[in-house]
Structure 1
Amino acid sequence: MSPSPSSPPPSSPASSGNHPRLLVTRKLPAAVEARALGSYDVELNTGDAVMSRDEILARAAGKDGLLVTVADRIDGALIAALPPSIRIIASFSVGYDHIDIEAAAARGLAVTNTPDVLTDATADIALLLILGAARGAASGMAAIREGSWKNWAPTGMLGTDVGGKRLGILGMGRIGRAVAKRARAFGMSIHYHNRHRLPPDREEDAIYHSSVEGLFAASDILSVHCASTPETRRLVNAQTLALMPEGAILVNTARGDIVDDDALIAALASGRLRAIGLDVYNNEPNIDPRYRTLPDAFLLPHLGSATLETRNAMGFRALDNLDAFFAGREPLDLVTPRCRSPSSAS
């Protein structure tokens, strides 16, 4: 099957020597693409159009590996249809819920991700959402853009302080801990729920809640940082939101499917929640249109890792994993339990 006519033409390989053959499904920062071109016979997506599954399969022919992003749905059916030459899927992301890990492992494919390098950038966005939601930034920006701001008023556009508030962190991994560090500087007290309680040196002064319900009930502001798993999908729902204090704030920089859109929109529209801040969504970029009508919804277009420095670091980390694999070493960020060595398949 040939690539779609609307898709950009493939780039020329860096060489025709003994370099591993790599398909990169999206346009990456220039420095990352330059490094890839120096190490691989690489096909780049110079036009950055999202590839269809058929196009991925067509362009994967003859390749040894794939470098994919969160926009690529690498499900079990696609993995089963990949050509036998593919031995590794490197994801340009820390999350890998867009890849069927069990199917990849069953086929003997290596799958890697890019942890650590996007922690600070995502934590910064979480704080931006917290502050933007608490201070009514969405309404304020709309007033400026629409020309409806007429004068300063003592009771106009009143937000709420974050200092002295209880910040609940759902998922106290790298990003959750980075958010806690920043939030302490704003005078917030930290509460958290995690699959396992942190050791004292990482917990610091944070208060652990052994149940999700306990965390929601103790959170004036709740920041979502857990991974998307069958257990966490729709974890933010009508029942858990009802446990939060009246006028609480919820922000999400993790994954959209952790939130039940109907429940969250209803809680905000009813005044149960004061405000929300979202950087991730179900079915993004085709988000629920009702979010756009809510004046107290501070919305960003999945900017969590969107700094040049961070995106470069993510690309270099993905290439580090590919380099290790093709050199016969185990990649640093391997998320599949087993994989084929480079010499075991043509």
Structure 2
Amino acid sequence: MKPFVYITRKLPEEVVTPLREKYEVKMWDKEDVIVPRTVLLEEASKADALLTMLSDQIDEELLSAGEQLKVVANLAVGYDNIDIEAATKRGVTICNTPDVLTDSTADLTFGLLMAAARRIVEGAEFIKAGQWKSWSPLLLAGYDIHHKTIGIVGMGSIGSTVAKRATGFDMEILYHNRSRKMEVESELGATYCSFDELVERSDFIVCLTPLTAETKDLFTRDVFKRMKKTAVFVNASRGPVVNEQELYEALKEGDIAAAGLDVFDKEPIDETHPLLTLSNVVAIPHIGSASIETRMKMMNLCVENIDLILSGQEPKTHVNK
């Protein structure tokens, strides 16, 4: 029998064809609906390979059900949805999609920064609502980006690329990371500093840190109070690194000026979420890597990794090597 591959979201047929030519493939038939847990568990129990989304929980329960599972290819850079220790213990290879989405996510992150600072979304809604009656000196006035200080929390490949974008705006670049990045310091003039110093000095605080036990709820009301009142906060990493209720209170009470958010604690968020009631919040639905070119590269990399593992070879991006 051919190895069985289960794909947890509907993907373009041209992406899936290389797998269909060699393996038995089954795919969840909806693009925008999460595969039900019961279905995922049932399919995993038969699968040699899973191609998963960030919204799929690959935990102890699922891994123990997948007795013949060899590989999980996650359509994301992050893999906080996967119990890496449990997978490693069972000899299941975990793959992700780094590098191919770095530039696209950095573009989106900087765009979110600009939109929040210059009130672009607010302005677009203002004019659509017929509220523009005349030109006014301070109508929807936001904050300049050029010659300001950007603080990047999490200087991985995406953080480094955001820093590169910042040089085009003549920004001072601060960063905080688990380890110093000497190449970023030498090439881009970035300065390593403590988290506290970054928070207090930066005009723009950009969160790109992975979600870990140490970074969960990293940004609290106390942290926001130590930022400049004119500061703009951007989160393009993972929602749980921010205490959302305390961010809401900080924005509402004027502790900081604005926020740009691509990720949330629970996704998708409800349209009644308190943060969505604030005009100084630009919220988008976790689309950091969502360009057509990049998403296709991510899908193709997942397919390639699955094929390599099922063919007895080393995958291109092996998380738990």
Which of 104, 110, 114 does residue 97 from structure 2 map onto?
Answer: 114
2:286 corresponds, among 292, 302, 309, to 302
The CA deviation at 1:330 is 2.2
Q: Does 1:189 align with 2:172?
A: yes
1:40, CA displacement in angstroms? 2.5
Q: Give secondary structure in 2 for the equivalent of 1:103.
A: helix
Alpha-carbon shift at residue 83 of structure 1 (Å):
3.0
- Identical amino acids, percent of aligned pairs: 39
SS of 1:223's equivalent in the other structure is strand
Q: Is 1:282 the equivalent of 2:270? A: no
* Counterpart residue number, 2:49: 65
C-alpha distance in 2 between matches for 1:206 and 1:47: 44
- Measured after TM superposition, the shift of residue 19 of structure 1 is 4.1
Q: Sort the Cα spacing of 1:108 and 1:306 in 2 relative to 1 into closer, same or farther, 3 A.
A: same
Residue 30 of structure 1: how far off its partner (Å):
3.8
Aligned to 2:3: 20
Q: CA RMSD in A?
A: 1.6
**How far 1:150 sits from its partner (Å)?**
1.7
The letter of the residue matching 1:71 is S
Task: Measure, in 1, the Cα distance between the counterparts of 2:186 and 2:179.
Answer: 11
The aligned residue for residue 34 of structure 2 is 50
What SS does the corresponding residue of 1:273 show, helix, strand or coil?
coil
- Does 1:29 pair with 2:2? no
Which of 290, 304, 319 is matched with 1:320 structurally? 304
**Which residue in 2 is equivalent to 1:13?**
none
In the aligned structure 2, how far is the partner of 1:291 from the partner of 1:201?
A: 34
Query: For 2:320, which of 324, 336, 339 is the aligned residue?
Result: 336
2:70 counterpart letter in structure 1: R
Which residue number corresponds to residue 149 of structure 2?
A: 166
Q: CA–CA distance in 1 between the matches of 2:170 and 2:127?
A: 29
In structure 1, what is the equivalent of residue 67 of structure 2?
84
Residue 154 of structure 1 and its aligned partner are, at CA, apart by 1.6
Shift of 1:163: 0.5
The structural deviation recorded for 1:314 is: 0.3
Runs of at least 4 residues off by over 3 Å:
200-203
Distance of 2:117 and 2:191 partners within structure 1: 22
Is the 1:29–1:308 Cα contact (8 Å) retained in structure 2? no
| SS across alignment from 1:151 | coil
Q: Which residue of 1 aligns with 2:191?
A: 207
200-209 or 122-131: bigger deviation: 200-209
Matches of 1:116 and 1:134 in 2, distance apart? 28
**Match of residue 245 from structure 2:** 262
Contact 2:70 2:309 in 1 (8 A): no
Question: Aligned partners of 2:105 and 2:209: how far apart in 1?
Answer: 13
Which position in structure 2 is the counterpart of 1:144? Answer: 127
Tell me the amino acid that sits aligned with residue 59 of structure 1. Answer: E
Q: Distance in 2 between matches of 1:111 and 1:155?
A: 52
Cα shift at 1:132: 0.3
Number of positions where the alignment pairs a residue of Structure 1 with one of Structure 2: 318
**2:67 aligned with 1:101, yes or no?**
no
CA distance in 1, matches of 2:289, 2:88: 27
Give, in whole Å, the separation in 2 of the partners of 1:200 and 1:115. Answer: 19
Deviation at 1:46, TM superposition (A): 2.4
Q: Does the Cα contact within 8 Å between 2:44 and 2:62 map onto a contact in 1?
A: no
Q: Could you tell me how far 1:61 is from its partner in structure 2?
A: 3.6
Indicate whether 1:311 and 2:295 are aligned.
yes
2:225–2:256: 8 Å Cα contact kept in structure 1? no
* Amino acid across the alignment from 1:112: C
Q: Unaligned stretches of 5+ in structure 2?
A: none
TM-score, normalised with respect to structure 2: 0.94
Output the amino acid matched with 1:222. Answer: I
Give the TM-score taking structure 1 as reference length. 0.88
| SS of aligned partner of 1:192 | strand
Contact 1:53 1:78 in 2 (8 A): no
CA 1:122–1:181 in 2, change beyond 3 Å: closer, same or farther?
Answer: same
Contact 1:74 1:99 in 2 (8 A): yes
**Which ranges in structure 1 are unaligned for 5 or more consecutive residues?**
1-17, 338-346
Partner of 1:5: none
Question: Is 1:273 matched up with 2:260?
Answer: no
Shift of 1:198: 0.8
Secondary structure of 2:302's aligned partner:
helix
